[in-house]
Amino acid sequence: MEHTEIVKERYSLSMERIREIREEEAVASSFAGYFRKTADFLLTVGEVYEELKAGRELSLEECRERNERLYRDILPEHYGESYGNPAYAVKCLGEDYGQLLSFLYSELRGEIVYAFEDRLEDMAILQETFIEVYNLFTMANADGAALPGETGEDGAETAYLPLVDQVRDALYWYVSDYCDRTVEYRVRECLDPSLAFAKDIIMKEDLSDLRYLYQFGEYISEGELRTAAFLNGLPEETVQLMADTYTEGYRKGFEVMRRDLSRKSTVVIRYELGFERMIRMAVENFRAMGLEPIIYRAAVHSVNKSAGRKAGYFATSPNRQYDYDHRYDNALYLDKAFKDRKTAVLKVAYEKYKKEAAAYAGPAVVETFGQEGFEPENKAECPSLTDKQEKLAREAAAEAAQIAQAYVPGDETSFTIIAFPVPEIGERYEEIFQETIRINTLDYEEYKTMQQALIDVLDEAEYVEVTGGEGNDTRLRISLHPLKDRERETNFENCVADVNIPVGEVFTSPVLNGTEGLLHVRNVYIGDFQFRDLRLRFEDGMVTDYSCANFPDPEAGRRLVRQVILKNHDSLPMGEFAIGTNTVAYRAAERLGITEKLPILIAEKMGPHFAVGDTCYSWSEDSPVYNPNGKEIIARDNERSLLRKTEISRAYFNCHTDITIPYKELGDIAAVAPDGTRRPVIRDGRFAVAGAEKLNAPLEESAC
């Protein structure tokens, strides 16, 4: 990347000043450790940057050592005494300073990836911000409003502390002033295929030499190394099958939704590091379709992050507790002025890249599963959003979605998602991986026929009743849309292997009025979090109460549900009701002992599931969708999404979280007709519809 002389000078001068800071004794001793340690980190990144620019070639062991050195401070074994840990920062620096300086330290850690991407101006900006904050703590910069810091034995003041608001303002204006750079670049990297940092590594490097993984700048664990080595050992035809299933599912998504793929020229690939051999083949497949892939990194700046969600490419987190502790760093700067500024910048950025936005076809996602469950520690020292800020955050998300929709209409794009295990899943990793490939390539036509048999019964119903089996307290009534013409209309989508791989579900958007009852799951993974004894209660389709048994304190459990599942909304509607039909996946998961480690992508196919948030047709409800038999799916709206016609700010929640009841916890599912006639769809955990009997064979094997 070419840099102007001004940028080079800014970077050089800031590095020189940071070297001086490391040796100075100009701040209160209680803060000296923070500034020295942070300066050491920035100088280490600077040394790595110079190595990268010089093209120094490292051995695999040297790559490991350098990677560990960059991420060492926030690894679990060191996190207890890291300023990246808000609890430690508050302990050492005080509550107000501690939160602010821990946030700054977290932002500064973004320099690692900027060094690898040769983003010198971003590095200079962060370093200048660090120097600005440091200067606030020096006596030379103390003004009449400064508070006295330490005193010597004679009582004379020897150091000063700035007002907390001075530090807060410095960080606020860093986030706000540079918003037009950080937000605009984020929009660009999501839309512009010419930004090819990661793509060049994937397509040009020798993937049999695992040193390539260290070129991304991400933390590389044994998991990434083992995944890449495993894929390197698979036959060419096996990896090609993985890539073909993934990209063909994407193409079929456009076909099924009757959308014109030929009008598009770019596709975003999101994945986790280690799968580069498959991704290289996928890039070639997409290019053959006329689509140039975009591969961008998960967000680094706080201003672009979304709590609990990563979009882009990324590697194993060096420390999930660190990520959790900083998930609401925006609480330190989020106000209405900043929300409005970010929204305005976002709109300008989309307008600037509107040509690229029009070419964008949608994301193709590779997920992973098998990681150890994460039960976070809730720390009082971490920033948290006030009620007012939560409202602002929801408004900002809604406004951002409306802007994106204006430039990338949802009814012109599609997507696909596929998942594979990682080595952390256990000793049977290779067997599990091969079984996952089999599950991902099950017979499309066979499932289409069996699922249509289920839909034919469900379409006779006014509502559906779902009850749990032994130990599961679920008792739900789900209202369905009335069908005016059963020959041409249906309530349920027949979901086979296109946008959601593998095959295996029929789903609908329920009518909220009359949808009520309790949803209970004893154990379920949602994102990085394992929920125990999760309960959600619905009235007229809206969540009215919720709990989980993750913590001794019930209120702590409620907070976790609210943050992770409700996305900090007071309530969410039931946006989807579905019946998973992939009993082959369920049988394999039970046999291999991985049921509780499967991602929602596969788990949702292994029993009835319910999504809270928007419907599956969010932002594209007015576009007709058809099943393979030609019937139109008319259940694309509910009472909340219909508000888009009059109050769009109330229509969408910008989230959709699936929760599955596994077959082993399931009792009955019955379709209840307007005249009260009940037809069993599932009885005692087994499918009871003619034409779908074959789905029970794997369940019977599982029970033996």
Share of the chain above pLDDT 90, in %: 81
Q: What is the pLDDT of residues 305-327, one digit of tens each?
A: 988 789 999 999 999 999 999 99
Buried b (16+ CB within 10 A) or exposed e, 506-524: bbbbbbbeebbbebbbbeb
Residues 6 or more apart whose Cβ sits within 8 Å of residue 427: none
pLDDT (average), residues 235-260: 92
Handedness of CA 250, 251, 254, 256 (dihedral sign): negative
Residue 24: pLDDT above 80?
Answer: yes
Residue 150: pLDDT above 70?
Answer: no
Handedness of CA 394, 398, 401, 407 (dihedral sign): negative
pLDDT (average), residues 487-505: 88
What pLDDT, on the 0 to 100 scale, is given for residue 703? Answer: 54
What pLDDT, on the 0 to 100 scale, is given for residue 326? Answer: 97
Is the separation of the CB atoms in 150 and 159 below 8 Å?
yes
Residue 660 β-bridge partners: 609
Say which range, 161-175, 328-342, 445-459, 612-626, has the weakest mean pLDDT: 612-626
What pLDDT, on the 0 to 100 scale, is given for residue 152? Answer: 44
Domain ranges of the chain: 5-177, 187-412, 442-703
Q: Which pairing describes strands 678-683 and 686-687: parallel, antiparallel, or unpaired?
A: antiparallel
Residue 499: pLDDT above 80?
Answer: no
Cα-based distances in Å from 662 to 258, 323, 417, 596, 658: 33, 29, 21, 10, 12
Q: What is the pLDDT of residues 536-560, one digit of tens each?
A: 999 999 999 999 999 999 999 999 9
Residue 26: pLDDT above 50?
Answer: yes
Cα-based distances in Å from 391 to 334, 397, 613, 700: 11, 10, 16, 49
What pLDDT, on the 0 to 100 scale, is given for residue 373? Answer: 77
pLDDT (average), residues 200-214: 98
What pLDDT, on the 0 to 100 scale, is given for residue 248? Answer: 94
For residues 503 and 297, the model is more confident at 297
pLDDT (average), residues 106-117: 97
Cα-based distances in Å from 532 to 373, 596, 613: 11, 11, 21
Q: What are the contacts of 636-639 at 24+ separation with CB within 8 A?
A: 636/509, 637/509, 638/509, 638/510, 638/511, 638/512, 638/541, 638/573, 638/575, 639/511, 639/512, 639/513, 639/541, 639/573
For residues 528 and 619, the model is more confident at 619
What pLDDT, on the 0 to 100 scale, is given for residue 595? Answer: 83
Size (the chain), residues: 704
pLDDT band for 139, please (50, 70, 90 cuts). Answer: low
Nearest to 663, CA basis, from 695, 626, 693 = 695
Residue 568: pLDDT above 90?
Answer: no
Greatest Cα pair distance in the chain: 94
Q: What is the pLDDT of residues 100-111, one digit of tens each?
A: 999 999 999 999
Is the separation of the CB atoms in 579 and 670 below 8 Å?
no
pLDDT (average), residues 651-665: 91
For residues 456 and 703, the model is more confident at 456
Q: What is the pLDDT of residues 45-104, one digit of tens each?
A: 999 999 999 999 999 999 999 999 999 999 999 999 999 999 999 999 999 999 999 999
